[in-house]
């Protein structure tokens, strides 16, 4: 694994920890937002480990799907989780009409843990 990929995984683990702390403290929307970043950083780690350099959120999602989900290197459900987590984050961060509630945030955190585990497996960690 490249040094850059390792740093992205460290950021992913940190974001997961922060999301769990936010959830424990009753900040479900913030937790849902932060778990997306854990998944985003983990996806970046996997892409960087293969020399794939993308930065924009949509580009990371697209490349993750193209290089890993579509050819079956990662179960496509993880690609869907990443996309859905971004949609939830956008609601949590920007929508003034809809709020992310505890059950949704808890589900996203569980999905985030599974996502990070799968990325670690793919990275051989």
List, for residues 11-47, the tens digit of each pLDDT value. Answer: 999 999 999 999 999 999 999 999 999 999 999 999 9
**Per residue in 75-103, pLDDT tens?**
999 999 999 999 999 999 999 888 899 89
Nearest to 64 by CA among 35, 87, 90, 41: 41
**90 with 97: CB under 8 angstroms?**
no
Cα separation, 118 vs 44, in Å, equals 13
CATH 3.30.300.30 fits 3-123, yes or no: no
pTM of the model: 0.94
Cα separation, 106 vs 24, in Å, equals 10
Cα separation, 30 vs 5, in Å, equals 25
- What is the pLDDT averaged over residues 100-112? 93
Predicted confidence at residue 2, as pLDDT, reads: 86
Predicted confidence at residue 120, as pLDDT, reads: 96
Q: pLDDT confidence of 55, banded at 50, 70, 90?
A: confident
């Amino acid at each position: 694994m490249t040094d850059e990929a390792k740093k992205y995984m460290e950021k992913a683990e940190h974001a997961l920890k922060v999301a769990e702390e936010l959830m424990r403290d009753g900040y479900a929307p913030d937790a849902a937002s932060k778990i997306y970043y854990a998944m985003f950083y983990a996806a970046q780690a996997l892409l960087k480990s293969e020399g794939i350099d993308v930065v924009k959120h949509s580009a990371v999602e697209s490349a993750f799907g193209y290089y890993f989900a579509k050819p079956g290197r990662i179960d496509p459900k993880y690609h869907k989780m990443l996309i859905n987590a971004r949609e939830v984050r956008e609601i949590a961060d920007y929508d003034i009409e809809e709020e992310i509630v505890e059950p949704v945030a808890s589900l996203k955190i569980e999905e985030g843990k599974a996502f990070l585990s799968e990325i670690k497996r793919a990275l051989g960690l």
